[in-house]
Chain A
Amino acid sequence: MANLESIVGKVTPREGYEILTKEYLSENVVRMRVRAPEIARERRPGQFIIVQTDVDYGERVPLTIADANSEEGWIAMIFQIVGKTTEEMSHFEVGDYFPVVSGPLGKPTDLEKFGRVVAVGGGIGLAPLYPIVQGLKALGNHVTVIAGARNKGLLILEEEMRAVADEYIVMTDDGSYGRKGLVTHPLKELCEADPKPDMVIAIGPPVMMKFCALTTKPYGVHTLASLNTLMVDGTGMCGCCRVSVDGKIRFVCVDGPEFDAHLVDFDNMIKRLSAFTEQESEARDATCRFRAMVKEMQEASEL
Chain B
Amino acid sequence: MPRFHRDPQILNNEALEILEGLQAKAALTPKDRMAIPLQKPAVLDPLERSQWQDEVEKTYTPAQAVVESMRCLHCKNPNCVKGCPVGIDIPGFLKATAEGEFQKAVDTIKESSLLPAICGRVCPQERQCQENCMIGKAHKDVGQSVAIGKVERFLADWERSQGHSGLEVKPESGHKVAVIGSGPAGLVVAADCRREGHEVHVFEALHKLGGVLRYGIPEFRLPKSVVDGQIETLKKMGVHFHTDYIVGRTRKLQDLLDKDGFGAAFIGVGAGLPIFMGIPGEDYVGVCTANEYLTRANLMGGINPGHSDTPMYRSKKVVVLGGGNVAMDSCRMAKRLGAEEVTVLYRRSRQEMPARREEVEHAFEEGIRFCFLENACAINADENERVKSVTVQRYKLGEPDASGRRRPVPIEGDTYELECDTVLIAIGNSSNPLLTTATPGLELNAKGNVIVDQETGQTSLERVYAGGDIVLGAATVILAMGEGRRAARSINKLLAEK
Residue positions of A touching B, CB distance < 8 A: 1, 3, 38-39, 42, 50, 52, 54-60, 84-85, 99-105, 232-233, 235-240, 242, 244, 249, 251, 254, 265, 268, 271-272, 274-276, 278-280, 283
**Which of A3, A42, A274 has the most chain B CB atoms inside 10 A of its CB?**
A42
Decide: B244 and A102 in contact? CB cutoff 8 A: yes
**A32 CA to B48 CA, complexed, in Å:** 48
**A244 CA to B251 CA, complexed, in Å:** 30
Decide: B295 and A232 in contact? CB cutoff 8 A: yes
With a cutoff of 8 Å between Cβ atoms, the chain B residues found around residue A54 in the complex are 309
Overall SS of chain B's interface = loop
Q: List 10 A-B contacts (CB under 8 A).
A: A3-B307, A39-B250, A102-B205, A102-B250, A235-B432, A236-B433, A237-B272, A249-B282, A272-B283, A276-B311
With a cutoff of 8 Å between Cβ atoms, the chain A residues found around residue B140 in the complex are none
With a cutoff of 8 Å between Cβ atoms, the chain B residues found around residue A240 in the complex are 288-289, 292
Partner of A60, one of B249, B251, B304, B310: B310
Nearest A residue (CB) for B288: A240
Decide: A103 and B207 in contact? CB cutoff 8 A: no
**A274 CA to B384 CA, complexed, in Å:** 10
- Please report which residues of chain B, range 212-255, place their CB below 8 angstroms from some CB of chain A when the two chains form the complex: 215, 243-246, 249-252
A/B pair count, beta carbons within 8 Å: 125
Decide: A283 and B299 in contact? CB cutoff 8 A: no
**A104 CA to B206 CA, complexed, in Å:** 13
Q: Does B494 contact A (CB under 8 A)?
A: no
**A16 CA to B272 CA, complexed, in Å:** 26
Decide: B276 and A237 in contact? CB cutoff 8 A: no
Decide: B434 and A254 in contact? CB cutoff 8 A: yes
Q: Does B473 contact A (CB under 8 A)?
A: no
**A280 CA to B215 CA, complexed, in Å:** 22
**Which of A57, A101, A105, A283 has the most chain B CB atoms inside 10 A of its CB?**
A57
**A124 CA to B385 CA, complexed, in Å:** 27
With a cutoff of 8 Å between Cβ atoms, the chain A residues found around residue B354 in the complex are none
**A85 CA to B283 CA, complexed, in Å:** 26
CB within 8 Å for A42 and B249 given contacts A55-B207, A101-B244, A279-B314: yes
With a cutoff of 8 Å between Cβ atoms, the chain B residues found around residue A85 in the complex are 309
Decide: B205 and A235 in contact? CB cutoff 8 A: yes
Partner of A232, one of B243, B283, B300: B300
**A56 CA to B245 CA, complexed, in Å:** 17
**A232 CA to B311 CA, complexed, in Å:** 10
With a cutoff of 8 Å between Cβ atoms, the chain B residues found around residue A103 in the complex are 246, 249-250
A253 to chain B, nearest CB (A): 9
With a cutoff of 8 Å between Cβ atoms, the chain A residues found around residue B295 in the complex are 232-233, 237-238
Q: Mark B273-306, 1 if CB is under 8 A from A, else 0.
A: 1101000001111101101100110011100100
Decide: B385 and A268 in contact? CB cutoff 8 A: yes
With a cutoff of 8 Å between Cβ atoms, the chain A residues found around residue B244 in the complex are 50, 100-102
With a cutoff of 8 Å between Cβ atoms, the chain A residues found around residue B292 in the complex are 232, 238-240
Per CB-CB distance, the 3 closest pairs between chain A and chain B, nearest first, are A102-B244, A238-B292, A279-B311
Q: Does B208 contact A (CB under 8 A)?
A: yes
With a cutoff of 8 Å between Cβ atoms, the chain A residues found around residue B249 in the complex are 42, 103-105
CB within 8 Å for A265 and B283 given contacts A232-B292, A239-B274: yes
With a cutoff of 8 Å between Cβ atoms, the chain A residues found around residue B300 in the complex are 57, 59-60, 232
With a cutoff of 8 Å between Cβ atoms, the chain A residues found around residue B215 in the complex are 233, 237
Decide: B207 and A232 in contact? CB cutoff 8 A: no
B182 to chain A, nearest CB (A): 13
With a cutoff of 8 Å between Cβ atoms, the chain A residues found around residue B307 in the complex are 1, 3, 56-57
**A39 CA to B244 CA, complexed, in Å:** 11
Q: Does B173 contact A (CB under 8 A)?
A: no
Decide: B283 and A242 in contact? CB cutoff 8 A: yes
Decide: B286 and A52 in contact? CB cutoff 8 A: no
**A235 CA to B274 CA, complexed, in Å:** 11
**A60 CA to B27 CA, complexed, in Å:** 61
Nearest A residue (CB) for B274: A239
Decide: B311 and A283 in contact? CB cutoff 8 A: yes
A26 to chain B, nearest CB (A): 24
Decide: B207 and A100 in contact? CB cutoff 8 A: yes
**A99 CA to B206 CA, complexed, in Å:** 12
Decide: B304 and A236 in contact? CB cutoff 8 A: no
Q: Does B308 contact A (CB under 8 A)?
A: yes
CB within 8 Å for A236 and B310 given contacts A60-B207, A271-B285: no
Partner of B273, one of A104, A237, A244, A272: A237
Decide: A38 and B206 in contact? CB cutoff 8 A: no
A234 to chain B, nearest CB (A): 9
Decide: A238 and B250 in contact? CB cutoff 8 A: no
Decide: A102 and B433 in contact? CB cutoff 8 A: no
With a cutoff of 8 Å between Cβ atoms, the chain A residues found around residue B245 in the complex are 102
**Which of B282, B299, B309 has the most chain A CB atoms inside 10 A of its CB?**
B309
Decide: B291 and A237 in contact? CB cutoff 8 A: yes
**A101 CA to B205 CA, complexed, in Å:** 11
Decide: B273 and A59 in contact? CB cutoff 8 A: no
A105 to chain B, nearest CB (A): 6
- Told that A99-B207, A271-B384 touch, could you supply 6 new A-B pairs with CB distance under 8 A? A56-B301, A239-B289, A240-B289, A249-B276, A272-B283, A275-B285
Nearest A residue (CB) for B272: A237
Decide: B246 and A236 in contact? CB cutoff 8 A: no
**A102 CA to B251 CA, complexed, in Å:** 11
With a cutoff of 8 Å between Cβ atoms, the chain A residues found around residue B304 in the complex are 57
**A272 CA to B281 CA, complexed, in Å:** 12
Nearest B residue (CB) for A54: B309
**Which of B215, B244, B245, B286 has the most chain A CB atoms inside 10 A of its CB?**
B244
Decide: A3 and B433 in contact? CB cutoff 8 A: no
**A265 CA to B282 CA, complexed, in Å:** 13
A181 to chain B, nearest CB (A): 30
A39 to chain B, nearest CB (A): 6
CB within 8 Å for A233 and B206 given contacts A60-B300, A271-B384: yes
**A3 CA to B206 CA, complexed, in Å:** 20
Partner of A42, one of B208, B250, B312: B250
**A242 CA to B311 CA, complexed, in Å:** 17
Nearest A residue (CB) for B208: A55
Nearest B residue (CB) for A4: B307
Decide: A268 and B283 in contact? CB cutoff 8 A: yes
Decide: B433 and A280 in contact? CB cutoff 8 A: no
A88 to chain B, nearest CB (A): 8
B351 to chain A, nearest CB (A): 30
Nearest B residue (CB) for A276: B311
Nearest B residue (CB) for A240: B292
**A102 CA to B250 CA, complexed, in Å:** 8
With a cutoff of 8 Å between Cβ atoms, the chain A residues found around residue B310 in the complex are 57, 59-60, 232
Decide: B299 and A239 in contact? CB cutoff 8 A: no
B147 to chain A, nearest CB (A): 33
Decide: A236 and B285 in contact? CB cutoff 8 A: no
Partner of A238, one of B208, B274, B313, B433: B274
With a cutoff of 8 Å between Cβ atoms, the chain B residues found around residue A283 in the complex are 309, 311
**Which of A50, A236, A239 has the most chain B CB atoms inside 10 A of its CB?**
A239
Nearest B residue (CB) for A39: B250
